[in-house]
Amino acid sequence: MQLKLRELLDALHTARVEFVIVGGVAAWLNGSSLATNDLDVCCRMTEENMARFIEAIRPLNPKVRGDPRNLIPPLNAKLLATINMLIMVTSLGHFDLVPELPPIGRYDEVLKHSVEMEVEGRMTRVLDIDALIAVKKAVGRPKDAMGVMYLERAKKQREASKQP
């Protein structure tokens, strides 16, 4: 399943969804060269924002990823606002909604640990490199340990390039 990142982000921006890019794409945008094939976003989990989120994903034929019944996620803002995690496959690739990111917290805290980047002409919030390292360390799986190595190297390279 090919990941069409630009189109996914355009759908979120067009629907005016409040979101922060987290996970592997955030790591890549922060300079980690460990590639990923899914987009994870942390959203404000209000009904209003979930209504916008639904507006963004409805045309993308979303299905619950890994469910043999091909379940369609609840496209209902009130219900969606209560979920713990939404792991989907869409016509634009694998796309996950992550309401909470331990040890950072929910959207407001995630937002505080994000940076703004201009991506395809739109200002986009992306989890910052220190928060990404903290999240991966907290999860602690072997793949996260590898992610930490890449992020720490990217951080060192960034710092080295800033030195005169």
Partner 1 sequence: MTDVELQQLRDRTYADVQDENGIDVTQIDELLAMTPTERLRALEEFNETLDALDKAREKFDAAQTTRTP
Q: Which stretch binds partner 1 (CB under 8 A): 42-50, 79-87, 97-105, 156-164?
A: 156-164
With a CB cutoff of 8 Å and minimum separation 6, the contacts of 123 are 116, 117
The CB-of-78 to partner 1 minimum distance in angstroms stands at 33
Residues 19-78 touching partner 1, rule: CB under 8 A, are 25, 28-29, 31-33, 35-37
- Report the alpha-carbon distance of residue 76 to residue 42 in Å, rounded: 18
Residue 29 vs 77, nearer CB to partner 1 = 29
Q: How far apart are CA 41 and CA 120, in angstroms?
A: 17
Q: Any idea which residue has 């590639």 for tokens?
A: 35
Is residue 120 a contact point for partner 1 (CB under 8 A)? Answer: yes
Q: How far is the CB of 86 from partner 1 (least distance, A)?
A: 21
Which helix (H) or strand (E) segment holds residue 114: the answer is strand 114-119
Residue type, 54: I
Smallest separation, CB 37 to partner 1 (Å)? 5
